[in-house]
C-alpha cells in the first residue's frame, strides 16, 4: 500500500496530524495484508497482517509522538463514521517491536499528587477544591508500589549554597526497602550535620540547631519509625529513625494534602534549586498501581536518577523494563498489554507552575496490545 494512502488512513482513524519526523527521506509507512468488513453495529473492522512505519510524527494537541520505527503484526482495528469522519474505536495487535519512540507534552498529575506538589510549592489555595478531586478521593486506595518494598541503592545530592557560603554533600542509602537515617550523611565544612525523622517531619540537625525539610500534617504515619532520644528525655538522639519506603509512599499519596504546614518547608524549597542529584536504585518486582494505571513489574529493575537542579527537573533512566498485565485509563479511553519490555528514560521538566515530560524509548517489544478509544464526556470528565 502506498505511503500516502497508509498515512491518510492513520490520520482519519486517529484524528491527528501525521508527518515526517527527523530525516524526511527515511519516512516510510506500509500496510500489508489489508482486509475490511462491515459489522452489524455499523462499525467497520480493518485487519492488517503487518504494519510498518519509520520516521513518523503523530501530533494530537497537546501531545506529540515521534516514531523512529514500529513493526506491528496482526492488527485488528474497528472504526466508526461520525459526522462523515472515520474515527478509531478500538485496536489490538498480537505483537509489535519499536525503536526511537518519543512522546512529549504537558504532565497531567493525579489530583492527590497535584495537591502534594502545590503544598510543597507553598500554594495558598492548595487545600481548595478543584475539578477532578472527587475522582481523586474515590481512587485514594488505588496506590500500590510493591517494587519499593525491596529497593536497594544510594542517592547522592550536592547542595551549592551561595547564601551560606558552603557546599554540602548528602548521601542517603536505601537498604531492604527502607531508609535508615542513622546511615545517612550530610558532609560540609565544620562538624557534619545529621538527618532524621520525628513526629513533626524529616529534619536536619546542624551545628546551629534543627531545621525541618518536610513537615507532616499529622502523626503517626504508616511506614515511619520515629527517632528515639536517650534516657530520661535527654536532648541526645540515640536513633535517627527510619522510613519504610512502600508503606510511607503509599500512605502519603493516599492522604494527599492535609491542611496548612504540610509539605516542603520554605528552606527546603530554596535548597532544591541549588541541589544536584544522582543515584542508582534497584527496585523489586510486583504490582504498581496508581489512579488510572496498573501493571506488574517482573524481576529487579535498575534505574538511574540524574538532575542538575532538583527544583527544575529530574531524569530517570531504566535500562531494562519488563512488565505484564498492564491496564490504563484516561478520559474514557482504555489501554493495556499482556507483556512488554523496553529500554527507556523519562525526563520531568518544571517550568514554573507547569510541568512537562519527555518519554524516550530506545527500543522495546509489546505483546497482546489493546486499546479502546472511547471519547470523554462533554464536560471533560472521564467516561465510564
What's the per-residue H, E or C state across 321-381? EEEEEEEEEECCEEEEEEEEEEEEEEEEEEECCEEEEEEEEEEEEEEEEEEECCCCCCCCC
Whether 93 and 148 map to the same domain: the answer is no
Q: Which residue has the cell 515521534?
A: 66
pLDDT tens digit sequence for 68-112: 999 999 999 999 888 888 888 999 999 999 999 999 999 877 666
Interhelix angle for 245-255 vs 111-120, to 10°?
90
Structural domain of residue 66, as residue ranges? 3-104
Whether 216 and 80 map to the same domain: the answer is no
Whether 233 and 279 map to the same domain: the answer is yes
Least trusted range by pLDDT, from 221-230, 272-281, 317-326, 342-351: 221-230
Q: How far is CA 31 from the centre of its chain?
A: 33
Whether 61 and 135 map to the same domain: the answer is no
End of a domain among 311, 337, 369? 311
Q: Vertex 243, ends 239 and 245: CA angle to 5°? A: 160
Whether 96 and 133 map to the same domain: the answer is no
Burial environment of residue 34 by CB neighbours within 10 A (0 to 12, 13 to 18, 19 or more): middle
Would 321 be classed as within a structural domain? Answer: no
Would 76 be classed as within a structural domain? Answer: yes
Whether 118 and 236 map to the same domain: the answer is yes
pLDDT at 125 (0 to 100): 44
Would 353 be classed as within a structural domain? Answer: no
End of a domain among 46, 71, 104? 104
Would 214 be classed as within a structural domain? Answer: yes
Cβ contact 259:283 at 8 Å: no
Would 323 be classed as within a structural domain? Answer: no
pLDDT tens digit sequence for 164-201: 556 899 999 999 999 999 999 999 888 899 999 999 99
Whether 268 and 129 map to the same domain: the answer is yes
Whether 160 and 298 map to the same domain: the answer is yes
Q: Vertex 59, ends 358 and 32: CA angle to 5°? A: 110
Contacts of 130 (CB under 8 A, 6+ apart): 111, 114
End of a domain among 104, 125, 160? 104
Whether 88 and 189 map to the same domain: the answer is no
The Cα 232–Cα 133 span in angstroms is 46
Would 368 be classed as within a structural domain? Answer: no
* Alpha carbon distance, N-terminus to C-terminus of the chain: 37
Indicate the pairing of strand 293-297 with strand 313-330.
antiparallel
Whether 116 and 95 map to the same domain: the answer is no
Burial call 82-101: b when 16+ CB within 10 Å, e when fewer: eeeebbbbbbbbebbebbbb
Would 268 be classed as within a structural domain? Answer: yes
Would 166 be classed as within a structural domain? Answer: yes
What region, left, alpha or beta, does residue 62 occupy, with left being phi > 0 and alpha being psi -120 to 50 degrees? alpha
Whether 115 and 49 map to the same domain: the answer is no
Number of domains in the chain: 2
Whether 154 and 64 map to the same domain: the answer is no
pLDDT at 167 (0 to 100): 85
For the residues 136-156, what does the mean pLDDT come to? 81
Amino acid at each position: 500500500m502506498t505511503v500516502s494512502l497508509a498515512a491518510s488512513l492513520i490520520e482519519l482513524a486517529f484524528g491527528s496530524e501525521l508527518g515526517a519526523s527527523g530525516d524526511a527521506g527515511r519516512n516510510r509507512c506500509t500496510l500489508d495484508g489489508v482486509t475490511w468488513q462491515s459489522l452489524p453495529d455499523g462499525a467497520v473492522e480493518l485487519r492488517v497482517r503487518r504494519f510498518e512505519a519509520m520516521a513518523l510524527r503523530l501530533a494530537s494537541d497537546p501531545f506529540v509522538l515521534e516514531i523512529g520505527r514500529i513493526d506491528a503484526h496482526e492488527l485488528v482495528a474497528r472504526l466508526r463514521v461520525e459526522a462523515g469522519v472515520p474515527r478509531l474505536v478500538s485496536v489490538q495487535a498480537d505483537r509489535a517491536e519499536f525503536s526511537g519512540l518519543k512522546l512529549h507534552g504537558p504532565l497531567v498529575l493525579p489530583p492527590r499528587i497535584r495537591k502534594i506538589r502545590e503544598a510543597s510549592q507553598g500554594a495558598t489555595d492548595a487545600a481548595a477544591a478543584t475539578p477532578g478531586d472527587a475522582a481523586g478521593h474515590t481512587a485514594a486506595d488505588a496506590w500500590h508500589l510493591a517494587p519499593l518494598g525491596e529497593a536497594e541503592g544510594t542517592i547522592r545530592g550536592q547542595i551549592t549554597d551561595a547564601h551560606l557560603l558552603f557546599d554540602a554533600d548528602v548521601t542517603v542509602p536505601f537498604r531492604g526497602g527502607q531508609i535508615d537515617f542513622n546511615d545517612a550523611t550530610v558532609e560540609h565544612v565544620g562538624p557534619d550535620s545529621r538527618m532524621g525523622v520525628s513526629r513533626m517531619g524529616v529534619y536536619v540537625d546542624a551545628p546551629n540547631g534543627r531545621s525541618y525539610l518536610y513537615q507532616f500534617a499529622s502523626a503517626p504515619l504508616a511506614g515511619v519509625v520515629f527517632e528515639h532520644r536517650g534516657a530520661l528525655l535527654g536532648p541526645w538522639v540515640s536513633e535517627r529513625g527510619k522510613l519504610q519506603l512502600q508503606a510511607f509512599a503509599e500512605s502519603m499519596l493516599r492522604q494527599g494534602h492535609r491542611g496548612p504546614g504540610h509539605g516542603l518547608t520554605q528552606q527546603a524549597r530554596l535548597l532544591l534549586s541549588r541541589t544536584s542529584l544522582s543515584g542508582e536504585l534497584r527496585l523489586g518486582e510486583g504490582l504498581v498501581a496508581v489512579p488510572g494505571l496498573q501493571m506488574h513489574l517482573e524481576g529487579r529493575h535498575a534505574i538511574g536518577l540524574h538532575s542538575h537542579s532538583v527544583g527544575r527537573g529530574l531524569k530517570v533512566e531504566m535500562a531494562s523494563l519488563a512488565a505484564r498485565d498492564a491496564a490504563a485509563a484516561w478520559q474514557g479511553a482504555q489501554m493495556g498489554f499482556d507483556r512488554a519490555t523496553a529500554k527507556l528514560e523519562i525526563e520531568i521538566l518544571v517550568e514554573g507552575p507547569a510541568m512537562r515530560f519527555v518519554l524516550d524509548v530506545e527500543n522495546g517489544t509489546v505483546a497482546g496490545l489493546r486499546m479502546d478509544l472511547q471519547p470523554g464526556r462533554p464536560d471533560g470528565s472521564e467516561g465510564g
